[in-house]
């Protein structure tokens, strides 16, 4: 890798899961297989089997999805790391911020796996099913989306939850308010506005009970100084101490995921190459909407690993 190619590793969040994720890397790389074994041991059940074989409905359960994506992401990261590819920065989308902190050495993998299982459980239990909703608003400016949320709230919660790219903002809150905001966005010129099939209204103030429960768990964990700067979701700022890392993960539960702003921060830091580690290519897709001139690779199987290594001029 030439010196002027600053690399950032990106880690996906919930929604990127797929049956079979991590299986091929585990078959070819002992370090990936070992990662899944560590997760199985930390959780006390065969997470690896659910990742590799399904069933899909089990993998979609939030308290399973979260440790599953984290494990597949860390397996991919460890394989790439063993090949000598190192980042200058790391960032993760929502749940992915935990993977980023594992990669930065802030928290141990076993602690992260157990914590995100509870995180999934707390988020699921914070709001009864059917009370909350989320919707994607496409092709509408953040100020206009925020205005639609305010106008639709009518005393209920309705807030921007994921600011993913200039093209895509996800809103979250009470089901009625989110539906009203979706209609308003449609009327006010959004390219598309649709309610999403999610199990809970993530990243809004309805998640306060989950945030309080998770804060207690995170306070009990050992957070080290990250070895590389972590771009955190909630502030779109670089975190370089363990305490700031912990605080950002706590506030992230009810706060917006400022992904677009976080990527702009990394671009301003001179990042030229982004590598998405784990299942899917959601974050590479968002990067195309944010800045098409930058290279974005992903590592989820052998073919994508070799393509990334080829670009990074490291022999597999």
Strand, helix or coil at 243? helix
Distant-in-sequence, close-in-space partners of 22: CB < 8 Å, separation ≥ 6: 32, 35, 36, 48, 51, 52, 71, 72, 75, 76, 279
Q: Which one, of 113, 108, 4, 136, lies nearest residue 51 by Cα?
A: 113
**Given 3-state DSSP classes, what are the helix, strand and coil percentages for the chain, each rounded to the nearest 5?**
50, 20, 35
Phi, psi of 257 (to 5 degrees): -85, 105
Tokens of 203: 């990243």
The CA-based diameter of the chain, rounded to the nearest angstrom, is 58
* 242/221 Cα distance (integer angstroms): 10
Does the annotation count 203 as an active-site position?
yes
Angle at 13 between CA 7 and CA 142, to 5 degrees: 85
Q: Which one, of 110, 68, 67, 111, lies nearest residue 246 by Cα?
A: 111
The residue annotated as part of the active site, out of 16, 94, 172, 256, is 94
Does the annotation count 94 as an active-site position?
yes
Q: Quickly count: other Cβ atoms within 10 Å of residue 84's Cβ.
A: 11
The residue annotated as part of the active site, out of 16, 172, 203, 300, is 203
Angle at 58 between CA 13 and CA 279, to 5 degrees: 30
Q: Which helix (H) or strand (E) holds 294?
A: none
Provide the H-helix boundaries in 94-207: 96-103, 109-126, 142-153, 175-187
Tokens of 232: 């955190």
Instruction: Catalogue the active-site residues.
Output: 94, 203
């Amino acid at each position: 890798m030439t010196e002027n190619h600053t690399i950032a590793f990106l880690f996906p969040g919930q929604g990127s899961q797929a049956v079979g994720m991590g299986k091929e890397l585990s078959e070819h790389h002992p370090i990936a297989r070992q990662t899944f074994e560590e997760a199985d041991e930390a959780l006390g059940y065969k997470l690896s089997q659910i990742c590799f074989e399904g069933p899909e409905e089990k993998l979609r359960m939030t308290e399973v999805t979260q440790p599953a994506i984290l494990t597949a992401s860390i397996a991919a990261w460890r394989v790439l790391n063993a090949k000598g590819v190192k980042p200058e920065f790391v960032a993760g989308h929502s749940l992915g911020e935990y993977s980023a902190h594992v990669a930065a050495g802030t928290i141990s993998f076993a602690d992260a796996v157990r914590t995100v299982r509870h995180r999934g459980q707390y988020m699921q239990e914070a709001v009864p099913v059917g009370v909350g909703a989320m919707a994607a608003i496409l092709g509408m400016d953040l100020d206009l989306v925020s205005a639609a949320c305010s106008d639709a709230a009518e005393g209920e919660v309705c807030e921007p939850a994921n600011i993913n790219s200039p093209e895509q903002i996800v809103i979250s809150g009470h089901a009625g308010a989110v539906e009203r905001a979706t209609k308003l966005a449609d009327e006010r010129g959004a390219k598309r506005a649709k309610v999403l099939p999610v199990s809970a209204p993530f990243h809004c103030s309805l998640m306060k009970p989950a945030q309080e429960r998770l804060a207690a768990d995170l306070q009990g964990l050992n957070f080290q100084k990250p070895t590389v700067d972590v771009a955190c979701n909630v502030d779109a700022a670089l975190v370089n101490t363990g305490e700031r890392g912990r605080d950002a993960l706590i506030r992230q539960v009810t706060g917006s995921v400022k992904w677009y702003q976080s990527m702009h921060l990394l671009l301003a830091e001179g990042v030229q190459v982004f590598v998405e580690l784990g299942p899917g290519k959601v974050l590479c897709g968002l990067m195309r909407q944010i800045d098409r001139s930058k290279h974005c690779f992903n590592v989820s199987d052998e073919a994508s690993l070799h393509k990334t290594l080829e670009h990074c001029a490291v022999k597999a």
